[in-house]
Structure 1
């Protein structure tokens, strides 16, 4: 019951972030570079594959909304934090915990870190068939978490721990297995359908990676 109560409180907090003006501003920030990419992507896909479906674009938008929530909740560092860190007279590397489970955190932060990346593990293979392998999903969860943790080195209010890396990666893996169960139960009849986008183009083939990188850079560079 305690876990359920904390989970409800966590979901309520996320909803408050979504309704907050800062969240909407952050969505604009992460979309700045993504929109530029998507324009070029759409034109290339239209030329090579005949276009991109509205359903695909809708799922991509949902994916970006999710990433925006992750960046706001985790409080990633920005280029301004890097500047402050460089000019600071004191070191903040004492807030790094490299040994797993060596910090004094209680169990709930671990659970919340897992929950945070479950949607990532679910959405990646749902939207992009290239990510329908556990290896790619786990690697994506790990790298996204690593980027967040490294950026937090330059902030004043966050700690950097290997615990977060482990839990976030585990959450992505759990999300992948949820997708697999969902896929086999509901979408199996469509499993033989042709991919919406199948191309040798690097831009088209690695669309998801571009969104992950550009959304992070949008927050990192344009947050004031």
Structure 2
């Protein structure tokens, strides 16, 4: 268990480092070390979230199900919002996604706007819920709503702290200067993709 955990973290961080080196060479602006540091925080958050908190399915999990003769696709669905009321898990889902909403605008200028950040939070949450169709966990519309709300609160927290720590927030950010830098706008999705792949094959 610990070995697969460390493998997922190691693989994802190596891949992100390679991508950042390539981006730094191609980018029109200088990418500062603070961006790399907070990028490491993001990839750690993503891997830990997928591997430990939400129990994202892995290849070995699916192989084990096949060997035991169990179904790979075993959905437990809930499409009724707040059907069980507000529980502790509801609050935890909000808190769980706050770092995501905070780190995206910390790292990328494009995500210092509300809509792109909330959309990315929704997409990450949707990936988690789709993954849970292949586990014993429930795919719940409440999770989508609360995770997106957590992203919004994280974004608001960033806006407040960026006023207090303006110099630092400018050092952590990268932005597009021209068409050569267009890959930068897909940064969060590269991080999510790498984390998902690293966890799935770990």
Class of the TM-score when normalised by the shorter of the 2 chains? 0.7 to 0.9
Does the C-alpha gap of structure 1 residues 85 and 32 become closer, same or farther in structure 2, counting only changes over 3 Å? farther
TM-superposed CA distance for 1:36, in Å, is 3.8
Does the C-alpha gap of structure 1 residues 85 and 105 become closer, same or farther in structure 2, counting only changes over 3 Å? farther
TM-superposed CA distance for 1:215, in Å, is 1.8
RMSD between aligned alpha carbons? 2.9
Does the C-alpha gap of structure 1 residues 185 and 27 become closer, same or farther in structure 2, counting only changes over 3 Å? same
- Please state if 1:41 is matched with 2:23: yes
Structural mapping, 1:200-215, within 5 Å: 200-201=179-180, 202-215=182-195
* Aligned residue number for residue 8 of structure 1: none
Question: What secondary structure, in the 3-state scheme, does the structure 2 residue paired with 1:92 have?
Answer: coil
* Contact in 1 for aligned 2:107/2:174 (Cα 8 Å): no
**Mapped partners of 1:179, 1:64: distance in 2:** 18
* Aligned residue number for residue 107 of structure 1: 87
TM-superposed CA distance for 1:196, in Å, is 4.6
Q: Which structure carries more relative contact order (alpha carbon 8 Å, separation 6+)?
A: 2
* Contact in 2 for aligned 1:118/1:172 (Cα 8 Å): yes
Gaps of 5+ in 2: none
Kindly provide the CA deviation profile for residues 187-216 of structure 1, in whole angstroms up to 9, marking residues without a partner as x. 2x78899x6543323223322221122222
- Please state if 1:198 is matched with 2:180: no
* Aligned residue number for residue 161 of structure 1: 140
**Mapped partners of 1:84, 1:166: distance in 2:** 32
Q: How many residues align?
A: 196
TM-superposed CA distance for 1:70, in Å, is 1.0
* Aligned residue number for residue 121 of structure 1: 101
TM-superposed CA distance for 1:75, in Å, is 0.8
Question: What secondary structure, in the 3-state scheme, does the structure 2 residue paired with 1:150 have?
Answer: helix
Scaled by the length of structure 1, the TM-score of the pair is: 0.74
* Aligned residue number for residue 163 of structure 2: 184
Does the C-alpha gap of structure 1 residues 85 and 97 become closer, same or farther in structure 2, counting only changes over 3 Å? farther
Scaled by the length of structure 2, the TM-score of the pair is: 0.82
